[in-house]
Chain A
Amino acid sequence: MTENREDERIKSAMNRTMSGLEGNPYLARRVVTVSKGEVKVKKKLSFVTVMTIALMLISVTALALELSGWKIADYIRNVGEGKVDENFESGFNQDLTLDFEGVRFHVRDAYAAGNKIIIVTEVSCLKNETTMILPSETICDPDVTVARQYIKELAGVDDEITLSDYAKQKGLSMIHVYVNAQQKGTYPIVSGDEWIENDTTLVSITSANYLEVENGEVEVEWEVGVFDDSSDDPLTTKTLDFHLPVENVQEIEIDVQQTVTAGDILVSLDRMVLLPTRLDTQVELYYHTGSRQSAEQLLEYRFIAIDPSSLSFLDEGSFSSGPEILDMETQSAYMRDFWTLGGPLETDKLYLQLLPVYSWAKEGVEMDQGLQDVQIIKINIPEKD
């Protein structure tokens, strides 16, 4: 009886928390179209996904590359095929190491610019050379996760071999670790990825945004931990705070003041702020509409950067998970959206379309395409001083 009540409590809590999730009214039609091969399926990416992908677009071929000792630019250039300058150096030169629970955590590289911190952490065992280091079980279950996704040397090896089976074959034990880095005292969006450079070394890359700079620096809270399921407290962590210089980025603020319609809703794109770093271009958009009700409808629309000649999205798949309503009190509703274009800013114009989330469900339209019958906004980007 108690168990039933507990089950009901869990189920109701989950249903209520996810009660805003709605189905896609075009899904059945879309499925039929996709099944008949008329539309290519592309992955839809969330805001956090895009934030990191913009920096670290990994390709499967990268699994065959030599990864040892790589820093931020190596990952972006070689793994992500990003447009990073050959001579890019983050300039990070601090020796930061934490030895903890028999594991060594070492900051290999770090970079802060615009609105983002990126940290590369190397994790290895202090003594035991037969321990494979893995991310937390919540994101990497060794019985489910395929080894070649994490270990580049395994390219060409059995595609389906799991990390557990791989470890067994190699006589390795496994431990799970935790790595996070963010501005101290904040709760930013944190994304990350992990690679295993060799059987006993894990590399973790984390990216956190919502940076607030003070005296040209940001105080980074680097938190590392080791999981031990046999313990009452399965995760113990240790924190090291350090200061990271923030590269100066010239913010470009553009007074746009252009109107566009989304269905019947008139939208005014007021302002755009660009933060062009040496790695990417971070874009913030501020816009408003006439009422809260319209603003809620606008949550289902995105401003997307496009190439007007081909109508393709500039940064393929660069959707955010959604804009936010800034002003809930007054009649007018002010909104903000934030996303990243891959690569440094190399153009003096940016073209945007305001597209419905499900625009790709229209027949004959691919997910990474704008729509022919939708207004294009041209924004002139002033030259940097």
Chain B
Amino acid sequence: MNTVVAKGPAITRDEKLEALVDRYQVSLLKVCFTFLHDRGLAEDAVQETFVKVYQSLDSFKGNSSEKTWVFRIAMNTCRDMLRSRWFRFVDRRVDLSQLPEQTAQLEDGDKEIMESVMALPIKLREVILLCTFEGMTTYEAADALGITQQAVSSRLKRAKEKLKKELIEKGCDLS
């Protein structure tokens, strides 16, 4: 007996993009802001990321998870911006004043933690962003950053040690 499988309407590329933008835009914006220290540049980086995503939607084979793929593109975009001439004009201080007013109630130590994460060297900041903030496994973070799992674990350890030390100096406890 022949079976007829009912198929829903095919999802267009534009619809796929819209779904990805809905899903990842805000978390990418947060990651890019922490990475680049600048809200305007972070918005640019997110847009650039989705342009690259849109252009390579057809070539995404699913060898890594969709999230890892999108974040890999975002991290590379941020790194490129870091290399570009535009980035070098950015305020060197960690400045949270350009963030819009919080919609969530801040707790004691929140700003100190945020500032300390932003002040980490780039390589350590990357792993904190992906593993701790985005909850990726070391395997996923390694895939997104194009480094080994071992390197991720070692950087994560160093990043947390540095963070704790910084925060203790600021009189802030992580526990």
Partner-B contacts on A (CB < 8 A): 2-3, 5-7, 9-24, 27-28, 30-32, 34-35, 41, 43-49, 52-53, 56, 58, 60, 135-139, 141, 143-146, 149, 180, 189-194, 299, 319, 321-322
Contact = CB atoms under 8 A, between A and B. Distances in A.
A2 B173 CA distance: 12
Interface in B1-33: 14, 17-18, 21, 25-26, 29-30, 33
23 contacts: A6-B160, A13-B111, A16-B102, A16-B104, A17-B96, A18-B99, A22-B26, A28-B50, A31-B50, A32-B17, A46-B39, A46-B40, A48-B38, A49-B89, A49-B90, A53-B89, A60-B85, A139-B90, A141-B122, A143-B123, A144-B123, A146-B83, A192-B92
Nearest to B42: A21
Contact of B89 (A52, A145, A322): A52
Given A28-B18, A149-B84, 17 more contacts: A11-B132, A15-B30, A16-B110, A17-B99, A17-B110, A18-B33, A21-B30, A27-B46, A35-B51, A41-B48, A44-B43, A46-B98, A48-B89, A49-B86, A191-B89, A191-B92, A322-B98
Contact of B105 (A16, A60, A299): A16
A13 B109 contact: yes
Contacts of A136: 92
B63 interface: no
B41 A49 contact: yes
A190 B30 contact: no
Given A48-B91, A48-B95, A24 B100 contact: no
A137 B159 CA distance: 14
A384 to B, nearest CB: 30
B60 interface: no
A44 B109 contact: no
A14 B34 contact: yes
A311 to B, nearest CB: 21
Nearest to A16: B104
* Top 10 A-B pairs, shortest CB-CB distance: A20-B100, A13-B113, A19-B104, A46-B40, A48-B91, A23-B25, A13-B110, A17-B114, A141-B122, A137-B121
B96 A138 contact: no
B102 A31 contact: no
B79 to A, nearest CB: 6
Nearest to A146: B83
B93 interface: yes
Contacts, number: 198
Interface of B: 14, 17-18, 21, 25-26, 29-30, 33-34, 38-41, 43-44, 46-48, 50-51, 54-55, 79, 82-86, 88-93, 95-96, 98-107, 109-111, 113-114, 117, 119-123, 128, 132-133, 135, 160, 163-164, 174-175
A21 B84 CA distance: 24
Contacts of A144: 79, 82-83, 122-123
Contact of B47 (A5, A14, A34, A58): A34
A125 B106 CA distance: 45
Given A49-B41, A137-B122, A20 B89 contact: no
Nearest to A319: B40
Contacts of A20: 99-103
A40 to B, nearest CB: 12
A180 B93 CA distance: 10
A11 to B, nearest CB: 5
A23 B101 CA distance: 14
A32 B51 CA distance: 7
B102 A19 contact: yes
Nearest to B78: A144
Contacts of A11: 132-133, 135
A10 B128 contact: yes
Given A6-B175, A31-B50, A31-B54, A321 B25 contact: no
A264 B80 CA distance: 40
A13 B132 CA distance: 12
Given A10-B117, A138-B121, A22 B107 contact: no
Contacts of A52: 89
A45 B40 contact: yes
Nearest to B98: A321
B101 A21 contact: no
A100 B92 CA distance: 22
Contact of A10 (B99, B105, B107, B133): B133
Give the residue among A41, A45, A48, A141 with the most B Cβ atoms within 10 A.
A48
A179 to B, nearest CB: 9
B17 A190 contact: no
